Amino acid sequence: MSIDISDGIDEGNLRIKVLTTNTTIITLLTEEKFNGKVIQPGTTANRVVGEHGLAMSIEVLEGDTTHLFLLDTGGLMQTIIENSKQLNVNLNEAEKLILSHGHIDHFGGLMKVIPELKEGCEFYLNPNCFNQNHIVITKSGDEIPPEELGISLKKLNKEGKLKFYVKLPLLNKNLIANLANQQKVKIIETIKPEKLYNGITTSGEIELFDKNEVTSGFYIEKSRKEFEKNYFRDETSIYINVKNKGLVVLTGCGHCGIINTIKHGQKLTGIDKIYAVIGGFHEEWNSDEIIDKKVKYFEEINPEIICGMHCTGFKFNAKMSKHPAHSLGIVGTEFHL
């Protein structure tokens, strides 16, 4: 499948703001190397709050008109509401809201955000976002075969063989649907890519060119004793074509793998040049060997801007920091592309 976003957005007319992420820093300086394309919040960071979650606004300037889109709503602290006010983003002007996947650190602010949206706003999500998720990390690092998980999970946990186990909060379909109906927000459930505006498309279901790149340790609960490995068929990214510059890739967590996500965007749009990659890359659980592979890949495709935040992890950012395109993203970071 392909989607045509060759119409693109004129350079300088795309603005992306980080409304929620894990970090806020008042002393992070704007780097001159980006020539105004990456701007840090400075003293504005005094008035915003970080939390474990991610949300971004996407603004397209068209003459005197601004078109506003939202990716995710952050986590349970719902910092997106007050942060948006401090960062001069009016949620009521959003034309479309896109949910990257069904994890609480991305849909946690939904119950507060939906009432802020204007009538007729479209809310895009993959129907697989409603799946029940578990994270199971063994102390040995080995994944548990899904067919064994249902009968051995409690036993393994009791025996202390698990490093981490949690049943993730579920996105409540009826609750969200009722609230959206009250606000006259239109919910669009789809696994297909959707063109949001000239030059902008969602990914639809992301092709897994390399299944080994998928975040390990996540399982979908089909029934009380039936589990399957989560290949994140719910995950949605956004691709934006900036004229004469290439693709901007926006991710929530990048659970499908950041390389898979980029390759999927190239195949979907027919645009090979990558201009910027911004969002969560989920490298924090990965080994040095795997992270080195990702760093090498970024060096090969050589985007102008690489900003991994939220779940990207310290090791990736430390290794990537040597590349001239690397930038840190915090609450309030702006990208003028």
Residue 152 has pLDDT above 80, yes or no: no
Torsion, Cα 235 8 122 249, to 10 degrees, reads 20
**Is the confidence at residue 162, as pLDDT, over 90?**
no
Query: Is 247 in contact with 267 (CB distance < 8 Å)?
Result: no
Q: What average pLDDT score do residues 168-177 get? A: 96
Residue 264 has pLDDT above 80, yes or no: yes
Tens digit of each residue's pLDDT (9 = 90 or more) over 185-225: 999 999 999 999 999 999 999 999 999 999 999 999 998 88
Most confident of 68-72, 158-162, 285-289: 68-72
pLDDT at 145 over 90: no
Give helix then strand counts, H and E, for the chain.
8, 18
Residue 151 scores a pLDDT above 80: no
DSSP for 175-218, written as a single string: HHHHHHHHHTPEEEE-SS--EEETTEEE--SPP-S-GGGSPTTE
* CA gap 175, 69 in Å, rounded: 23
Three-state DSSP class for residue 317: helix
Q: Pick the residue with more confidence: 106 or 149?
A: 106
Burial (CB < 10 A; 0-12, 13-18, 19+), residue 132, is: middle
Residue 168 is predicted with a pLDDT of 96
Q: How far apart are CA 27 and CA 137, in angstroms?
A: 36
Structural domains of the chain ordered from first start: 14-128+170-205+237-336 (3.60.15.10)
What pLDDT, on a 0 to 100 scale, did the predictor assign at position 16?
A: 98
Arithmetic mean of pLDDT, 172-184: 97
Please tell me the pTM assigned to this model: 0.97
The pLDDT of 88-92, averaged and rounded, is 98
Nearest partner of 326 among 309, 312, 306, judged by Cα: 306
